[in-house]
Amino acid sequence: MTENLTEREQEIIDFLAEDSALTVADISRRLEVSTVTVRNDLTGLAEKGFIVRTHGGAFPAFHRSILDRQRDRIKIKARIARLAAGLVNDGDGIMIEAGTTTALVAKYLLGKRDIHVVTNSTLVIPYARFNPTIHLTVVGGEFRPPTESLVGPIALRDLAEFHVRIAFIGTDGFSLAGGLTTHLVEGAEIVRKMAAQADRTILVADSSKWDKVGFARVLPMDGIDTLVTDAELNPEVGADLRALGVEVMEA
């Protein structure tokens, strides 16, 4: 989402993420622009859903960790998400797990017809709002601001009510020995449940996640059907994954 912001808008969000007590005058001095310009920028950011206005200032609408991840490897993540979205057919039911790359899959569904999306990610909502062909179901559960996700027993119960053709999942790290891992135990439960409810499980992850190991194990590498990643993945790794029966697609 942040790829649509100007450099000054991104600076304002950074300032507010560091100190939400900053006033319009404070931001004006830091950017060396008029207070009128800052107020216009804040109004625009509020309309886009990135901040919440307060009297004399504002605070970010997203957790700092989400803002940081949204701006990491933007172009690569976009290419991965676009390629992954191309695997969706008209009329499909799909699940999208919480994550900055997985959420982008919803962005690139524009043009597809009659797609039913089931998700635990609040980041998917803005993309679905402007796509009339998406039927969106957001599961319930406990909200986790650092991941913009809904997790826990209620989310797992809701997911069990659906069957889909594809589950798009993410990861904090993946390797041959450790499989898919994450830093959030509750997130691991969500991924396993989505995989169980889908005919095909697709991991969307850029190559920087390779050989990184998170706190909780999610799935073994052969627990996924397809990896959609970028061309920076070591060719030997791709060959090893294909030997396990995993389809590897590079954006």
Cα gap 61→67, rounded to integer Å? 10
For 224, the 3-state DSSP assignment is coil
Cα gap 182→7, rounded to integer Å? 31
Domains 2-61 and 73-250 share a fold: no
Residues 209, 231 contacting (CB under 8 angstroms): no
The 8-class DSSP code of residue 89 comes to P
Residues in the chain: 251
Cα gap 168→98, rounded to integer Å? 9
Tell me the fold of 2-61: Arc Repressor Mutant, subunit A (1.10.10)
The domain ranges of the chain are: 2-61, 73-250
Average pLDDT of the residues of the chain: 90
| Of the candidates 171, 247, 162, the residue with the CA atom closest to the CA atom of residue 197 | 162
Cα gap 62→14, rounded to integer Å? 11
Cα gap 179→75, rounded to integer Å? 26
Residues 6+ apart with CB under 8 A from 85: 105, 106, 107, 108, 109, 112
Q: What is the mean pLDDT of residues 16-30?
A: 84
Of the candidate ranges 21-25, 119-123, 241-245, the one whose mean pLDDT is the lowest: 21-25
- Copy the structure tokens of residue 88: 């969706």
Residues 51, 14 contacting (CB under 8 angstroms): no
What are 49-100's pLDDT values in tens digits? 677 788 777 867 666 655 555 555 678 999 999 999 999 999 999 999 999 8
Q: What is the mean pLDDT of residues 14-26?
A: 81
Class for domain 73-250, per CATH? alpha beta
What are 177-192's pLDDT values in tens digits? 999 999 999 999 999 9
What are 119-175's pLDDT values in tens digits? 999 989 888 888 888 999 999 999 998 888 999 999 999 999 999 999 999 999 999
Percent of the chain with pLDDT over 90: 66
Check residue 203 and give its pLDDT.
98
